[in-house]
Amino acid sequence: MASRDDAIVDIFIPVLNEAEGASYELAERPDEIVRNKPDIEAVAKDRTSGATLRIEHTRLEPFEGEGADFGRLRDIAEAIEKDGRIAQVNRELDISFKVGAFDVFGRWGRDKERVLRTIVEWLRVNVPSFESGYSEHTLTLPEPLVIGISLEHLEGAGSVSVARRDAPPTLLASLRRSVTRKLPKLVVETATKHVLLLEKYVPLHSRYEIGRQLRSLAPDLPDLSGVEVWVADTNGWHSADVVGFYRVWPSVDRRTRWVRGIPEVKLLHKRHLM
């Protein structure tokens, strides 16, 4: 089975062909040829013109430190969503934690079991008394932890989901880190076209905001002038079997090219659904 990164590149090449009237076909995956040397995702060749395309893929963190923040939320979310005593018939319960909520716990490996047990037990006891609408509750563990509760009454078996809220405005820092890390190996070899493919896996930040931030970075990144930056919007990959692609640099394309019926690839992280 192809990796997630490989699958995104494979889906993208036909999209680019249609957008530009090209005939690129995958020629090689350089990062698989020499495993101990970081390299780009793919090289494609146009069978008609002989043009060469170099592609590098990277995930765009919606805010700085998203990976570490998710690492703390993951076990909490799974424990809550799998607990059979929290879900209530005819109730849709959305539980949210502010980004950085768990930073107060200095040693997560030591604290996790205590925090997880306390949150689950608190929800078991209090969920039956929650009213419709949104409310916030502070648990003293003794560290303060704020839980957001959104409840709707709906017909059915009941559901529980966990998410994050109030992401910090650090898109520029995340973009700078992703682009500066990936550009050098993308442009180290000449090609007819170089494409940096940013995977947006959570529904934050519009194409216009991403494009605006890239324009602000351009004066410090001269290599960006010879690169096209596209977004692979994978928010709907596992929920709706769809991925969208659009260009954000050097100009923003208002069109989204949707690809449906995409291959099933195992989730890299559950946060692709959060």
DSSP reduced 3-state for 169: coil
Domain edges within the chain: 4-63+169-273, 67-165
Rounded Cα–Cα distance for residues 11 and 262 (Å): 8
DSSP reduced 3-state for 109: helix
Q: Is the pLDDT of residue 239 over 70?
A: no
DSSP reduced 3-state for 44: strand
Q: Which residue has the tokens 């001269």?
A: 222
Q: Decide: 248 and 207 in contact? Cβ < 8 Å.
A: yes
User: What is the model's pLDDT at position 140?
Assistant: 94
Rounded Cα–Cα distance for residues 11 and 46 (Å): 16
| More confident call, 169 vs 121 | 121
Question: Mind listing the pLDDT tens digit for each residue in 194-213?
Answer: 999 999 987 778 999 999 99
Q: Is the pLDDT of residue 272 over 50?
A: no
Q: Is the pLDDT of residue 34 over 70?
A: no
Average pLDDT, the chain: 87
User: What is the model's pLDDT at position 268?
Assistant: 42
User: Which of 14-23, 123-132, 147-156, 254-263 reaches the highest mean pLDDT?
Assistant: 14-23
